[in-house]
Amino acid sequence: MTTPQRVAAKFLLTDPTASVELQPFIGIFHRFIQEKLVEGLLVDVTDYSHVPNGPGIVLIGHDVDYGIDQVGGKWGLFTLRKRYRDVSTQQILRDTLVKSLAAMVALEAEPTCEVKFDTGSVAIEFFDRLLAPNTDEAFETRCKEIEPVADALYGAGAHEIMRAHAEDPRKALTICVAGESVDPATLIQRLGG
């Protein structure tokens, strides 16, 4: 299989069903652009707070997007990695996770940001349906690519890998990795970031 060109990671909040005030994230994300507090060529901030169970507030970039979203009814930090070439899926996964964890550190350091994240699980989504369809075969292939990254993140044999939305081939292939919740800075180091 060829390397997918759009890979996302979502870490949930410690209380993913709690009410989240989205408006402060508009200013926070604008400051992230101005002060280059997270990686990526950042372009703009988009407000989708009017969409129920939607993308929330999104920091749009050329090569990476960050967002506080409620897709699936659970609040979390969504990081979409895009526009890269000639790298392996494992490198893309590591890069996506490092960028997401670094954004998490930046958000938790914000005095006006009252969210805390749970690093004990992450959902990895492959949005290129031609290169990573939501099939058993694609799941098996992508699991082999995810396994070494999950080992680095949570420790060899100290994690579980599961498939979400297996019953609905229309949804993006989503693979959940669960392990011990550790502070984001430690996980960044484990991933070599």
Q: What is the DSSP string of the chain?
A: -PPPSEEEEEEEBSSTTS----HHHHHHHHHHHHHT-SSS-EEEEEEETTSTTS-EEEEEESSEEEEEE-GGG--EEEEEEE---S--HHHHHHHHHHHHHHHHHHHHH-TT----B-TTEEEEEE--TTTS-SSHHHHHHHHHHHHHHHHHHH-TTS-EEEEESTT-TTSPEEEEEE-----HHHHHHHTT-
**Does residue 1 carry a pLDDT above 70?**
no
The residue with tokens 């969409």 is 51
Alpha carbon 145 to chain centroid, angstroms: 17
Domain ranges of the chain: 6-190
The pLDDT-based confidence of 51 (bands split at 50, 70, 90) is: very high
pLDDT value of position 128:
85
Nearest to 69 by CA among 25, 122, 114: 25
> pTM, whole model, 2 decimals?
0.95
Predicted pLDDT of residue 26: 97
Per residue in 143-169, pLDDT (tens digit) is 999 999 999 999 999 999 999 999 999
Query: Mean pLDDT across the chain, nearest whole number?
Result: 94
